Chains A and B, each alone.
Chain A
């Protein structure tokens, strides 16, 4: 069974540009969540999509947006990039297993803003 795939693995962008990151979840998983991870703040929740609808949202500015397609693949977009957006962006897919839900993470996209 293929795992969660995130592309690209590494990205370098300039301040003010925009970027789109992609996540392909495990087959059959309908929930996709996005996280930002930095050494200072740790793992922070961005948003979660389920069946093409945003179900939960973290405390990030509107420059961060996402969407989910009918095949459950998801994209995350960051507009007007700032230096502070440099981080590892992780995607996780999940599907309920009994009463608990295990999240399966991709290897992440390392974004560097210069």
Chain B
């Protein structure tokens, strides 16, 4: 079993839709939960992160962690074509152990 499972998609939505991207994980030691965004022909970049359970909001983006069910979510409100990218979840124990999900490709159609 992989430590982090993420549906690779692709996920295609119309502009303005609410997008839900999800990951599950198996390692209870994960404490930090990061989301990376990767545009075409670029490397991934850190989008946002949360610590332990709960929600964190940053503009149109909300990261949510449920440690009891080992479930990580990223919500995008009022999605835009510029949000089209691959989104990778990356839980971490802290220090150097960070595990990346496979990434979900998102397409937002104008």
Could you list which residues of chain A lie within 8 angstroms of chain B, going by C-beta atoms? 4, 31, 35, 37, 39-45, 48, 50, 55, 90, 92, 94, 96, 99-103, 105-108
Contact = CB atoms under 8 A, between A and B. Distances in A.
A102 B74 CA distance: 18
Contacts, number: 65
Contacts of A101: 92, 94-96, 98
B101 A42 contact: yes
- Closest CB pairs A-B (n = 5): A42-B102, A105-B43, A100-B32, A99-B94, A42-B103
B41 interface: yes
Contact of A107 (B42, B94, B101, B103): B42
A108 B36 CA distance: 15
21 contacts: A40-B8, A41-B102, A42-B8, A43-B100, A43-B101, A43-B102, A90-B43, A90-B44, A92-B43, A96-B95, A96-B96, A99-B31, A99-B32, A99-B95, A100-B32, A100-B34, A100-B94, A102-B34, A103-B98, A105-B38, A105-B43
Interface string B82-110: 00000010101011101111110100000
B96 A50 contact: yes
B48 to A, nearest CB: 11
